Amino acid sequence: MASLEERRNAEWARIRGRLRADFGDGVFRSWLRPLTLTAVDDTSVTMCVPTRFVRDRVNTLYGDRLRELWRAEDDAITGIDIDVSPETAGRKPSLIAAPPPEPEEVDDSAEALLDNSWSDGVASPLDPRLSFDAFVVGKPNEFAFAACKRAAETEKPAFNPLFLYGGVGLGKTHLMLSLIHI
């Protein structure tokens, strides 16, 4: 007969499979794969994610479905807690063994050039080439460049929030990512 830990791991593996089927590979990889099961008691489940942003997004968009799936596995489960723990999220926790990782797909697109690591709590891939030093300033974007540089270099900028608006190819995304790299 399977131990309680083995049974919970099997339940979690089935739930992960249903989440992937329900929401697709892209959503699963971005938001649901970072969920790590850390504890299950008689009435609640505890999971962790690496950042508050991921936790809030998962709670808002996928929390109800997570509760439904856990209730389908064990009707005694009444609550799900998602904690923020950059140290343990995505790693094998000590209480519940993590399911085997899903195979990674090879990506030959430009996105493959980006750094997909979790660093400084930022949960998105950032291209280190997009910095203020690499930005080409011209007449159409010099004001936006100056405003972004000032926002990045000043503790309390005079304008908050900074709103970038303009045509295609003027550097809005480059400037936005430059602000993050500072």
**Final residue of a domain: which of 84, 104, 136?**
84
Q: 25, 7, 6: which is closest to 17 by C-alpha?
A: 25
The DSSP annotation for 154-168 comes to -SS-SSSS------T
Query: What is the model's pLDDT at position 92?
Result: 45
Tell me which residue range forms the domain holding 135.
Answer: 126-181
**Final residue of a domain: which of 25, 56, 84?**
84
Residue 48 lies in a domain: yes
Domain shared by 130 and 62, yes or no? no
Query: What is the model's pLDDT at position 119?
Result: 42
Residue 109 lies in a domain: no
Residue 148 lies in a domain: yes
pLDDT along the chain (182 residues), means of 10: 78 92 88 89 89 89 92 90 73 44 48 43 61 88 89 77 84 84 64
- Tell me if residue 33 falls in helix, strand or coil: coil
- Tell me if residue 49 falls in helix, strand or coil: strand
Domain shared by 72 and 134, yes or no? no
For the chain, what is the domain count? 2
**Final residue of a domain: which of 63, 84, 105?**
84
Query: What is the model's pLDDT at position 18?
Result: 93
Domain shared by 69 and 18, yes or no? yes
Q: pTM for the complete prediction?
A: 0.50
Residue 21 lies in a domain: yes
- Residue 83 pairs in a beta bridge with 48
Residue 136 lies in a domain: yes
Domain shared by 80 and 140, yes or no? no
Rg (CA), the chain: 21
CATH number of the domain residue 25 falls in: 3.30.300.180
Domain shared by 78 and 130, yes or no? no
Residue 46 lies in a domain: yes
Query: What is the model's pLDDT at position 16?
Result: 93
- Residue 80 pairs in a beta bridge with 45
Residue 41 lies in a domain: yes
Query: What is the model's pLDDT at position 120?
Result: 44
Residue 107 lies in a domain: no
Domain shared by 142 and 72, yes or no? no
13: which 2 tokens?
């593996």
Query: What is the model's pLDDT at position 40?
Result: 87
Q: Whole-angstrom Cα distance, residue 20 to residue 24?
A: 5
